[in-house]
Each structure stands twice: as C-alpha cells, then as structure tokens.
Structure 1
C-alpha cells in the first residue's frame, strides 16, 4: 500500500511516465530557462503577492479581486502543504525521466502529491476572476504556465499538477462568499418639498453651535458673507442648545431655520423646525455630518444655491420615546432621530475604527476594529418587541441604509417610511467564535448571528441592567425602555438635488 502511495496507482503512474516521456522529447531551448524562472517566481506565493500588489493600486473591484485571490491562494496553500502532502507521500520524478538540463535543481524534498504551486496558481486565478473577470482572464495564462512548469522542470508528475489544480479550484469556490463584492447602491432620490426662497439669507435664522468640530472665529463671518441678510445666533458652550435653538427659530419674520453643527445639533434644530413648521437648512459643521451628507448640503457651495432658489425636499423623522429611572416612577423624554440609534458595542466599534482609520484606511480599520471589539467585550441582554436577546450590536437607521449588511454607510432615500433594524446577536452556541470567524472572512452580513429587517415600530427594553442608548451620536444613559416610531415626511429641508 505504501509503495502504491509513493509511486501512484499503476495506471496513473503509467500515464505520468508516458506524459513525461513526451515532454522529455521536446528539443531544448530558451523555453527551458523561461519555465525554470517562472516556476521559481511562484515559490512561496511570491508571484501572486506581486500581482496582487499591482492590482491593489487600482481601487474598486480590481483591488477587491486581488484580496480575494490571496484569500483563495492562502487556503489552497494551507490545505495542500499542511494536509495532503502529509497524507499522500509520493516520490518526485527522477533525473532519468527528463533531460538533465531541464531538471530543476535543487529538487524539492517534500511529497510530490499534490502540487502546491498548481493549487496556489489556480486558486489565485479563479479567486480574482470571480470578482473581476478581466483580471482573472489576464492571470489565467500565467497560472497555467506555472502549473505546466512544474512538470516541465521535473518537480512534479502530471497527476500531481492535476490534483493540485483541483484543490485550488475548490479553494476558490469555498472562499467565493468571503468578502463578497457589494452590489451597487441605488440612486439618490428626493421627494420635492415647498420652501421659501432666501436670497442673501433674507428670512433665514442660523444657529451656530461653537462646540461643532470645525468651528473657528471666522465661522460666523464666513456665514455672514454668503448670507448677509440672515440673523446668526451663536450658541456658546455654557448655553442650553435647545433653548437657544428655540430663540433662533422664533425670531419675528423668520421663514426658515438654519443650523451649523453636528448631527446632535441638527436633531435639536429639526425638532424646533417641525414644531414651528419651518424648513431647515443644514450646514455641516460638526464632527459627524451624516444628515448634511444625505441632504446634499455638505458645503456652502451646495447649500447657498438651494436656499436662494428654495430647492427643498421632505424627510421622515424618527421619534424615540425613552423611559429612565425607577420602573414605578419613570422619567420620560421624547427625542428626534434623523439618522441612527444604537445599543451595545456599536459606539465602541466606531471609536476604534476612527482611531485606526488614518493608519489602515477605512475598510481594514473596520475589520480590525470589529475583531478587537467582539474579542474583548461582552454582549448585553435586551428585549426587542417582546423577545429576549443577547446582543453585541443593536442598530436602527431612520431609513434604509446601504450596503445591506452589518456596516451601513449610505442612505439614498430620506422618506422611504421604514426603520432599518439590524442586530448582531450572541444567542447561538459558540457565538463569539462564530462571530470572529465571520469578521475574518467578511461574512458578518450573511452570518446566522446577523439579523436584518425593516419596521415602522420597535420597542426595546433593558434586560438586567439599564442600557446606554446613542441617538445621532448623542448618548443617553440609564434607559429602561426605548420605543421607536416614525413621522412620515415631517421635515422639510433644503437640498440642491430636489427631486431625483
């Protein structure tokens, strides 16, 4: 039995020798040196790392194809070298089977069955091709050349190359769902709203929060230059933001409310605008400016024409009713949610990602931040619509966010009438190990631990201890109950895109 493994089954060994005799009959030439060099370049995957590094310079699908190719190549190499080469010992071809000038020197000492070079080559070519067919087609001839070079140089029998190629193909198929390519986001659309024209800022009252992340002494002067007829209220750190917002919104002759600040300040302004039936002009000025981004007014270059021409749209608004304190004597409050709310580890994940992003870039920083978060911290217990869960993250978006997985980024529509509900739970067996594996393979969005749905009403109750709720970046501690509903089309906001 051992002899058969070392030499191969009779008919396989006979076919291998017949093919080698045919190759040995080829006349010598420059092609011998070419295949030796090509084979050597693929040692330890160096060739594929070089190709991937070149492809990574092209952002988008090409870069993702390179990453996927390396994932498949790594799996194929591990399975071949750590598994099958141990289980299937086989001697390599001898110098008598090929001309000496063609024979690789020194010959590898590991088992001949299967070919690790072939497994890596096929895995990389197919792995890249699944994501970017053009790149896969370009790499395929190189991969085929590497596979053939192992026979041409006497490093492997033909059946070793065939078996290794099959392993590579299987590795590419297995990893096909890892780090999947995100489908394109739907186009941005707006539902047109009615708002006053504000030439020069006439009839506009702007509240400026000095705690906004980009506030400087020149901020008010810059706003005064582009809106010379507007009234500008400066909210100092010692002021109550809600009170000052109400003062700005109730000035005589005001036809629109403007706000300069981050998402928390914008939420306060939205509450005042809705109450007084005023259109809202959002000017990005804080650390987080998600609503300004979605509204299309991230810069004055976009905001000024929209206000001047009265270009506006409508947005749904989330209403968050919270109960804090003792169960028999709760303290109740109502909050406006324009963007997102979260419970659990999501704020910690975002904080870690932002710390790592300058050095690693956003995609890799997100992976590292998720791995650290889920490895180090514990889930919490909450009751969602009457069902008890252990969760790492509970996320609610005001509107449908994309991509449709664990990492929402963009919201093309602001009045779609839904709450985007996402949970990453720890209810299942071996939840932490399964979560870490899905983080490493980029399959969190399709994991059984991830639950995605849409709703118009969500009720969340704390488990054994009060929870911390984050709404549009502002934290609310000690929450026992949080109830989320919607007001459809409640907010009119200035937007340069109008109706998409």
Structure 2
C-alpha cells in the first residue's frame, strides 16, 4: 500500500497539471518549505528586529504557497497528493513496526512490601500530592510518608538512608525525576525495590515505565498488587540519573536563574548566543572509539531514545538494554539546520550507544543538566550505565509503554516488501 500510494501521489499532479504545472508545484511548494524552515532557524538565532522579521516570514511563507495554488486552480491536486502521502507514511510505519515483544520488559512476581517508605514533594507537579490526596491513600495501604516541607534543600538521600535503617523494605518517591534518582540510588545500594509515583511535572521516567501519568494514585496499586522490573541506572561523575544528562545548549539554559520562572522566554533569550557559539565552553564528546569535537548540544540518556524524530528525544521503549544513548548536535549554518529538520541530511547529528563515555571541555567545570536539575561538574565528565541495578515496583495493571513509531525508510520498506512475498 505504501508503494502504490506513493506512485499515485506522484502521478496525480502529472495527469492533472502536466509537466509545466508539476514543475511549478515543486518550485513553489519546496521553496515555501525551505523559506519557512530557514526563517524559523533565523528566529531562534537572531536578536532584535531581525528575529521578528524572520518569524513573520516563517508565518507568511505557507500562506503565500496556498494562495498561489488557489489562484492556479491546483489546490485540489495538492490536497489529493497530500492525503495519498499521509497514507504512504502510515502504511510504511505499520509495515516497519517492530513486534510488541521489542517493547516489553520482563516482569517478576513479588510479594507486597511490609514496611514501605514514601517521600512526597507537595510542590511537585503543581501540587498533585494534595490534589490527589496521595498521603492519605498511601497511609491506608500501610506506607509511612515523609513530606518535603520547609526549605528546598532537604537532604532526601539522608532521609531515605534513615528510613532503611528504621526497617523500610521499599522506597518510593512522589516528585520530580531528580529526586527520584537520588532515592533510587539508595534503593540500589541496599537492594530494595523502588516505587515511582507519577506526581511530577513531566514524569518522563514514569512514562517510560508505562505508568499512568494522568492519575498518580494508580501508581500506589503497586503496594498491593505489583510486579518488579529490573531497569538500568545511569551515572554522571558518580551521581545517578534515571533519564538523562545534558551538556551544552540545554545545560546552559537550565542553569539560568530565570529558567524556572519563564522557560519559554529564557530559551528565546539565550538560544542566539548559544547556537552561534558565543557562549559556553567548547566540548568534546568521546563515545567509545568516536570523538565528536565542538558539538553545541550533547544528550546522554539512560538507554537510547527512539530515533523517529530529529534528535531522538521521543521516549525510551525499554530501560533494560544495558547501554547509554548519546546524541550530539552541531549546526553551523542555516543549510545544515534545514537539512536536519527536513530529514534530508544527517550532517551535524550523531546518535550512538555506549556503556561509558566522557565529555571534556576547555574549562575545569561545565554546567550539566541532570534529570532537569542544573549543576557544575568537574571535567572530564564521565557517564556510565549500571545494568539492571534498579528494582522498580510497578502496578500489575498499568497503561504500558507505547511502541515507538518506526522511522520512515524506503530501503527497509523495500526489503520488508520482498520478505513478505510468498
């Protein structure tokens, strides 16, 4: 179906508009896309009036393309070909989709905990702890709960260690991914199960565990009817992370004091300097035998992200592959940015996996975003993976992990079609 739809999508303009019309369609349509993408890239890399002129061009370009097609009575041709193109992509992704077993981590039956200890941050996720009455519901299930009230610099590691000394046989967190990583490290140290309660803002770790992010109370079901997953834990200079450690552009943005108050404004204010190379130390990433010099951004993840989007930042299908994911991005021109955004070029983008990697710089310390928290770490920064280190307790009945969409690849599609023939 993918190949037939693609062929018909290409034939419709020829039959309806002729050769000259097709050339006009290609020139106007492709030109509009290139201008819009280039203008958007200019918007995030420029200051002042040039930034807003670029945004206006990016908004006007698709409007001009549509008006041109309407005046030439060719809009219906574009609509028909567009629908067929959507069918092509949909059919191709279904054909290339992996089996469900590729996204399923092994589950282990375990008895309910006898003395669970949960740490809850009432400020996390806009107050989800109180909104969903998590303290009362957890205590009804036999858990002891400690609220992170008062100063924000409460030592959650010490709190978890005290709970273990007092006989806790499960540690859990209702809070952000940074807090979860610290308590998870204590659980690993004492070989205790760890419970994630999806009460954070983004809940990336909870999403990749297949938990219900809309209703954090469902996470508590693991206390009475749970199963165990053995997942990996990442470390950066010895500090644990459950999601990722970021360097360069994103780490500099997270470091800004204004970031938490107004994320969008902070990103727009800092991106021009960062992308044009006027701020931050020069980085070198060593991923196994590969060295990447001067990237603007580096993302090191606990297991690789899906590869169906620009920088591999969708979600992780599994957390037990025993490798780090490494994405580096180096964009030095508008042409390279357009190529990456349109997926016609991979110049400037690398995606690899490794069990260890280092990030060095021409500075003794560099900012690093660890699970969204900013910190300064000594260089070289060393990242590693601890396979199957964390015993995560999850509800037996949960939404599960959505399989990653397959990347569109004509070569793989052709091979798949030939294998499917009787």
Q: 2:321 aligns to what SS in structure 1? A: coil
Q: 2:120 aligns to what SS in structure 1? A: strand
Conserved in 1, the CA contact under 8 Å of 2:176 and 2:203?
A: yes
Match of 2:369 in 1: 470
Normalised TM-score (structure 1): 0.55
Instruction: Kindly state the Cα deviation for residue 189 of structure 1 after the two structures are TM-superposed.
Output: 1.2
Instruction: Kindly state the Cα deviation for residue 190 of structure 1 after the two structures are TM-superposed.
Output: 1.8
CA distance in structure 1 between the partners assigned to 2:387 and 2:223 by the alignment: 23
Conserved in 1, the CA contact under 8 Å of 2:197 and 2:206?
A: yes
For structure 1, the 5+ residue unaligned runs are: 1-38, 40-69, 80-114, 136-179, 322-333, 358-365
Matched, 1:315 2:227: no
Q: 1:360-379 counterparts in 2 under 5 A?
A: 374=275
Give the aligned length: 323
CA distance in structure 2 between the partners assigned to 1:227 and 1:477 by the alignment: 38
Q: 1:345 to 1:76 in 2, by over 3 A?
A: closer
Q: 1:181 to 1:451 in 2, by over 3 A?
A: farther
Instruction: Kindly state the Cα deviation for residue 129 of structure 1 after the two structures are TM-superposed.
Output: 2.4
Instruction: Kindly state the Cα deviation for residue 219 of structure 1 after the two structures are TM-superposed.
Output: 6.3
Conserved in 1, the CA contact under 8 Å of 2:329 and 2:349?
A: yes
Q: 1:427-442 counterparts in 2 under 5 A?
A: 431-438=332-339, 441-442=341-342
Conserved in 1, the CA contact under 8 Å of 2:119 and 2:174?
A: yes
1:256 to 161, 164, 170: 170
Matched, 1:227 2:128: no
Q: 1:265 to 1:342 in 2, by over 3 A?
A: same
Q: 1:296 aligns to what SS in structure 2? A: coil
Q: 1:301-380 counterparts in 2 under 5 A?
A: 301-321=217-237, 334-347=238-251, 374=275, 380=281
CA distance in structure 2 between the partners assigned to 1:432 and 1:119 by the alignment: 34
CA RMSD, Structure 1 to Structure 2 (Å): 4.2
Instruction: Kindly state the Cα deviation for residue 210 of structure 1 after the two structures are TM-superposed.
Output: 3.7
1:212 to 121, 124, 136: 124
| Mean Cα deviation higher: 379-388 or 242-251 | 379-388
Q: 1:277 to 1:355 in 2, by over 3 A?
A: same
Instruction: Kindly state the Cα deviation for residue 382 of structure 1 after the two structures are TM-superposed.
Output: 1.6
CA distance in structure 2 between the partners assigned to 1:483 and 1:443 by the alignment: 31
Instruction: Kindly state the Cα deviation for residue 355 of structure 1 after the two structures are TM-superposed.
Output: 5.1
Conserved in 2, the CA contact under 8 Å of 1:207 and 1:235?
A: yes
CA distance in structure 2 between the partners assigned to 1:381 and 1:389 by the alignment: 8
Return the structure number with greater relative CO, CA threshold 8 A, min gap 6. Answer: 2
CA distance in structure 2 between the partners assigned to 1:291 and 1:78 by the alignment: 35
**Which of the pair has more CA radius of gyration?**
1
Match of 1:132 in 2: 87
Q: 1:381 to 1:345 in 2, by over 3 A?
A: same
Instruction: Kindly state the Cα deviation for residue 290 of structure 1 after the two structures are TM-superposed.
Output: 1.2
Match of 2:192 in 1: 278
CA distance in structure 2 between the partners assigned to 1:71 and 1:278 by the alignment: 61
Instruction: Kindly state the Cα deviation for residue 184 of structure 1 after the two structures are TM-superposed.
Output: 5.5
